[in-house]
Structure 1
Amino acid sequence: MKSLKKKRRIQVIVVAAVALIMATSLIGYAMRDGINLFRAPSAVLAEPPGPAEVFRIGGLVEEGSLRRGQGEVVRFSVTDGGGSVPVEYAGVLPDLFEEGQGMVGLGTYDGRVFTATEILAKHDESYMPREVTDALKDQGVYQPPAGDG
């Protein structure tokens, strides 16, 4: 009688462990496309990601680099003070997108150009994505907005 109880306990533990492993695997599989790592331009240039890897890049839109009006594709460079990465984006840019302002783009890097599928820009005078601010501080080029004492 005791050995039957012991067998049942072991069976329940094994089934629970298998169910837990399967659930964890399914969650990881479902989230694999939803996890996008952030990289600064200098980090992208130092260790280029694979051409199929989707990630976020952020920094300041480099002064004098914005090229509009060449078909649907907009070209510009994003910098963190330590490196500059050319960006191509086919679509409508956010209203607040301009040179010298913070931005974050989602897309892939082929070794020479970051092809963005989504571009986000700051939404008011004092906002900049935390990752961009941290990267700019690391490079020593961060300038807080006026009135941000």
Structure 2
Amino acid sequence: MSDAPKKKMSPFRRRQRRLLLLGIVLPAFVGATALALTAISRTQVYFYGPSALPSPMELQGREIRVGGLIEDGSLIAKEGVGWTFTVSDGASSVPVIFDDELPALIQKTGEVVAQGTLREDGVFIANTVLAKHDENYMAPEVADALKESGEYERYMNDRGQ
């Protein structure tokens, strides 16, 4: 073993090392945060009622959700597959085009949430349409199965209906 004293790092070199570390870590952290925020904002889908819809120019082709009630008499089947209808929140309305089959529940509730883009002419092009319902909804298939098993009445009584 050597009896030579250990070399102490000078305070100047220690300070340089800290600054260098800070100069690398801080920009990396800021960059990672900025990247995460950008990714989140691009994948976020906002929900609007028809009266709260921004102009099509503000949305610039971004995907959004529009929700409300289907106006009476506006639900029209397109030739082939697809539907057109108007969604309203009582104050305003927006025409919707959907090129697929609608969920059967929409015929019963009339409440809908459509996801898609708003064209420049104000027509909403939906790529997904969901039916809204309350907690008391039961799919007809489930109700039929409960009736066949004799459990329907007990189930409804347990729910307080």
Q: Which residue pairs with 1:26 in the alignment?
A: 35
Tell me which protein shows more helix as a share of its residues: 2
Q: Which residue pairs with 2:55 in the alignment?
A: 48
SS of equivalent to 1:81? coil
Following TM superposition, the consecutive aligned residue runs of length 4 or more in structure 1 with deviations greater than 6 angstroms are: none
Paired with 1:126 and 1:3, the residues of 2 have a C-alpha distance of: 72
State the TM-score, normalized to the length of structure 1. Answer: 0.74
Larger RCO (CA within 8 A; separation ≥ 6) = 1
- Does residue 108 (structure 1) correspond to residue 117 (structure 2)? The answer is yes
Q: Which amino acid in 1 is paired with 2:126?
A: A
- Following TM superposition, by how much is the alpha carbon of 1:33 offset from its aligned partner in structure 2, in angstroms? 3.4
Unaligned runs of 5+ in 2: 1-9, 138-161
Give the CA RMSD over aligned residues.
Answer: 2.0
Structure 1 or 2, whichever has the larger Rg, is: 2
Q: Which residue pairs with 2:91 in the alignment?
A: 82
Output one character per residue of 1:41-98: Cα deviation in whole Å (capped at 9) or x when no partner.
Answer: 0122xx3133412111111111110001422221000000000100000112122112
Paired with 1:99 and 1:81, the residues of 2 have a C-alpha distance of: 19
Residue correspondence of structure 1 range 10-25 to structure 2 within 5 A: 10-25=19-34
Unaligned runs of 5+ in 1: 128-149
Paired with 1:24 and 1:126, the residues of 2 have a C-alpha distance of: 43
Paired with 2:131 and 2:85, the residues of 1 have a C-alpha distance of: 14
Say which of 117, 123, 145 aligns to 2:127.
Answer: 117
Q: Which amino acid in 1 is paired with 2:130?
A: L
Paired with 2:107 and 2:83, the residues of 1 have a C-alpha distance of: 12
